[in-house]
Amino acid sequence: AQKITQTQPGMFVQEKEAVTLDCTYDTSDQSYGLFWYKQPSSGEMIFLIYQGSYDEQNATEGRYSLNFQKARKSANLVISASQLGDSAMYFCAMRVSNDYKLSFGAGTTVTVRA
């Protein structure tokens, strides 16, 4: 079974600074995908970024980048130039091989301070 670990329950970051959210995963599959989702206080789940296990470059989407270290089994999310609207809970998730199910971590709450 796949396991996702997010060890930071909560983080504070100053507006305009960068923040890194940790995610480690455990799987015996060689083919897998890693996802990050954002959940603002309004409750909806928003897909942010994806990294495939065979992708050679780290994924980037605007201010979001994924620091993928395959040997360490980590897929950390970096949010650059934090904005007040980035205050939310962030979830790391994983899918393996041709299985479409996602396994989620417990989440990290980010609070951006003005």
Partner 1 sequence: NAGVTQTPKFQVLKTGQSMTLQCAQDMNHNSMYWYRQDPGMGLRLIYYSASEGTTDKGEVPNGYNVSRLNKREFSLRLESAAPSQTSVYFCASSATDTGPYEQYFGPGTRLTVT
Applying CB under 8 A, which residues contact partner 1? 4, 6, 9, 33, 35, 37, 43-45, 47, 50, 52, 91, 93, 95, 100-107
Query: Cα-flanking dihedrals φ and ψ of residue 97, to 5°?
Result: 45, -130
Closer CB to partner 1, 83 or 97, in the complex = 97
Residue 86 CB, shortest distance to partner 1, in Å, is 19
Cα-Cα-Cα-Cα dihedral sign, residues 114, 91, 89, 45: positive
Residue 78 CB, shortest distance to partner 1, in Å, is 19
Closer CB to partner 1, 43 or 85, in the complex = 43
Closer CB to partner 1, 24 or 103, in the complex = 103
